[in-house]
Amino acid sequence: MSGGHFDYFQFRIRDRASELDEMIHRCQTAEEDEYGYKPDYSPETLEKFAECAATMRKAAEMLHRVDWLVSGDNGEVTFHELWEKNVNQRDHRESGGWLPLYHGAVVDSPISGLVTQGKINDRIARVFRSFG
């Protein structure tokens, strides 16, 4: 099923974290947004933005793990293993781009708008490999 119990809300959380990363980048590089606006916040404020984005990425990963458990994609053993690996051990301060919410084989595929290149669940990776 690949999740969906929470209407994939974890991806919306992750996207908002990426927006914060973009704001930080614009402040640091003096780039204007599409409307000509350039935010000018203090370094202390930008640190809080970065902390917020990291917390949001961690929350997105937590929700993703719960989503896959309650949707039947992972059992409890895998849930706890992935929680330890992807929630407790990962540095959630990584900025921008795609959050590697999945584990397993690396796949390069245009199959989904959410996953164009990334690590995906082992079960899904087997399906992709079966297509040659």
65-115 per-position pLDDT tens digit: 999 999 999 999 999 999 999 888 877 765 443 334 333 333 333 333 333
Question: Residue 128: in which H helix or E strand, if any?
Answer: helix 122-130
Q: Considering the entire predicted model, what is its pTM?
A: 0.65
Query: Which amino acid is located at 94 in the chain?
Result: E
Instruction: Name beta bridge partners: 118.
Output: 107
